[in-house]
Amino acid sequence: MADVLGYRGKRVIVSGCFSGMGEATAKLLLDLGAEVHGLDYKDCALPLASFNRLDLRDPASIEAGVKAVGGKVDALFNCAGLAGGGAFAPIETMKVNFIGTRHLTEQVLGHMGAGAAIVSIASTGGLGWSRRIPVHMELLQVQGFAPAVAWCEAHMDQVAEGYAFSKEAVIVWTQFMGARLIKQGIRINCSLPSPTETPMMATFHATSGKDIVDAAAEPLGRYTTPAEQAGGIVLLNSALASVVNGVVLPVDGGFMGGVVTGQVDLSKMMGKAQQG
């Protein structure tokens, strides 16, 4: 079979490769002939070219992990993340889902050249991004890990439980950096998964409620699989998507289209938000 996606022999990094979407992504990339280097807080059992433990809450750990991979990097897959609904402390969620992810990306960029690509997993839970672009742009101007944490601690009214705001931040950052990195020939995109059958799902059910999660799985009527989500982000970083840049891609079985055209009932989700 022709290497239409262009991964054969390419050096790629996958964060969050221990389980869920990250593990499925690493598996798919291995099948496509890529040289896969994994980073995660927990050990990964896949036959990777290398694996290094990394804590996205710790900038020194991030820097050490990227240094250990070394060499040229053709693609980065930011798949690591924490669940929402208050399952983790808001600042911890911000560190992993956005601040640490941004720091990791900045470290990897030093190993990338023209033709490289970056993709991050955001969420349909971050759809409020367009209502507070000025707030997110203010955060984006704050450079460095510790200063970004300090900004979040000073704006807890915006951060709230952390998950939605962190995913909004990933979305706005992706669009902002898309216009900048393309000048270097480097692309950056993100995906918006709908509810997916990962180890995180039990936490989502416990903190947000199964009814709320189920509402976000319409009109497909089921949760997606990690492999289905991996397909979307592997496509975004592939050679076939050579001019796809700064895109926020719903990988949601039609949820976004259903919302826009009034075919998805958001009353359950909105009802909980109003009660909260």
Distance, in Å, from the CA atom of 217 to the CA atom of 233, rounded to the nearest integer, reads 19
Instruction: Share the mean pLDDT of the chain.
Output: 93
Judge whether residue 273 has pLDDT over 50. Answer: no
Interval 72-79 mean pLDDT: 98
**pLDDT band (50, 70, 90) for residue 207:** low
Judge whether residue 188 has pLDDT over 60. Answer: yes
CATH of domain 11-275: 3.40.50.720
Distance, in Å, from the CA atom of 27 to the CA atom of 51, rounded to the nearest integer, reads 14
Judge whether residue 275 has pLDDT over 50. Answer: no
Distance, in Å, from the CA atom of 48 to the CA atom of 26, rounded to the nearest integer, reads 8
Judge whether residue 8 has pLDDT over 60. Answer: yes
Give how far Cα 254 sits from Cα of 123, 193, 203, Å. Answer: 14, 11, 24
10 CA to centre of own chain: 21
Judge whether residue 266 has pLDDT over 90. Answer: no
First to last CA, the chain: 52
Weakest-pLDDT range from 84-88, 103-107, 152-156: 84-88
pLDDT at residue 83, as a whole number? 87
**pLDDT band (50, 70, 90) for residue 274:** very low
Judge whether residue 272 has pLDDT over 50. Answer: no
**pLDDT band (50, 70, 90) for residue 85:** confident
| Residue ranges per structural domain of the chain | 11-275
Percentage of the chain surpassing pLDDT 70?
94
